[in-house]
């Protein structure tokens, strides 16, 4: 079972991807993790990717797909995998589809975790982090015992720049421009399944497992 996770930043698709991987015994394949592993291990593909990253450039789609295919060709992906963070654009989806076609393979499901923008802005701008020990909280869902103070080490909690409403809105704008078209792409392939990401995490997962069977 080969699955792609779609959804805006903060929709919770990474969490769901990990839960799917655990339940079905298939690897959670995150492009960020693969890049880091290849660079750390000094692989040829990793070194090639590092050249672009060191210059602050995006790694070209063809190279990203090569690194991805190298990962999914490993033994632990024999029963399938959950892709998280790729593809992000139509060209990436096309390169991936073409590469899988050559191997006689295809993606089985594209799962879209759908959450309205205003929910995401509220969800992410409510996050608080302790920069000292790394603990994370949420003003509504996981509040600290004392406002803006870390339960674990007593340090001050902060709203990270990434989670500020203006930053989140900007990331959502980029998502809608680049990644939203993938919804149409996978709908046309007949494999898109949409779940309501505003529900409780366990209920979202239950919706996904109903689809995957």
The pTM assigned to this predicted structure is 0.83
Mark whether 160 is an active-site residue: yes
Mark whether 13 is an active-site residue: yes
Query: For 118-177, how does the pLDDT look when each residue is reduced to its tens digit (9 = 90+)?
Result: 999 998 999 999 999 999 999 988 999 999 999 999 999 999 988 899 999 988 998 898
Lowest mean pLDDT among 3-12, 57-66, 126-135, 202-211: 57-66
Mark whether 123 is an active-site residue: no
- The closest of 195, 187, 189 to 212, measured between CA atoms, is 195
Per the residue annotation, which of 66, 71, 123, 127 is the catalytic one? 127
Q: Is there a contact between 57 and 99 (Cβ–Cβ < 8 Å)?
A: no
Per the residue annotation, which of 18, 122, 171, 193 is the catalytic one? 171
Of the chain, the end-to-end C-alpha distance in Å amounts to 11
Q: Is there a contact between 131 and 109 (Cβ–Cβ < 8 Å)?
A: no
Per the residue annotation, which of 66, 88, 123, 128 is the catalytic one? 88
- The structural domains of the chain, with segments of one domain joined by +, span 2-115+179-212
What is the chain's mean pLDDT, rounded? 93
Predicted local distance difference test score (pLDDT) of residue 26: 96
**Topology of the domain covering 2-115+179-212:** Rossmann fold (3.40.50)
Burial of residue 154 (number of CB atoms within 10 Å: 0-12, 13-18, 19+): exposed
Output phi, psi for 124, to 5 deg: -80, -35
Per the residue annotation, which of 23, 132, 160, 189 is the catalytic one? 160
């Amino acid at each position: 079972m080969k699955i792609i996770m779609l959804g805006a930043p903060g929709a919770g698709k990474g969490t769901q991807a990990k839960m799917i991987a655990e339940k079905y015994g298939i690897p959670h394949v995150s492009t960020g993790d693969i890049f880091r592993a290849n660079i750390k291990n000094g692989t040829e593909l990793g070194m090639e990717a590092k050249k672009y990253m060191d210059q602050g450039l995006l790694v070209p789609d063809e190279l990203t797909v090569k690194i991805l295919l190298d990962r999914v060709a490993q033994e632990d992906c024999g029963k399938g995998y959950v892709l998280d963070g790729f593809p992000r654009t139509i060209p990436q989806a096309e390169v991936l589809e073409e590469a899988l076609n050559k191997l006689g393979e295809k993606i089985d499901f594209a799962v879209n975790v759908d959450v309205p923008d205003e929910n995401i802005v509220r969800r992410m701008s409510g996050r608080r982090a302790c920069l000292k020990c790394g603990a994370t909280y949420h003003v509504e869902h996981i509040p600290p015992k004392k406002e803006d103070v870390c339960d674990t080490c007593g340090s001050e909690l902060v709203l990270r720049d990434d989670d500020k409403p203006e930053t989140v809105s900007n990331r959502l704008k980029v998502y809608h421009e680049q990644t939203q078209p993938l919804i149409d792409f996978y709908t046309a392939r007949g494999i898109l399944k949409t779940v309501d990401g505003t529900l409780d995490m366990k209920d979202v997962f239950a919706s996904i497992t109903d689809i995957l069977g």
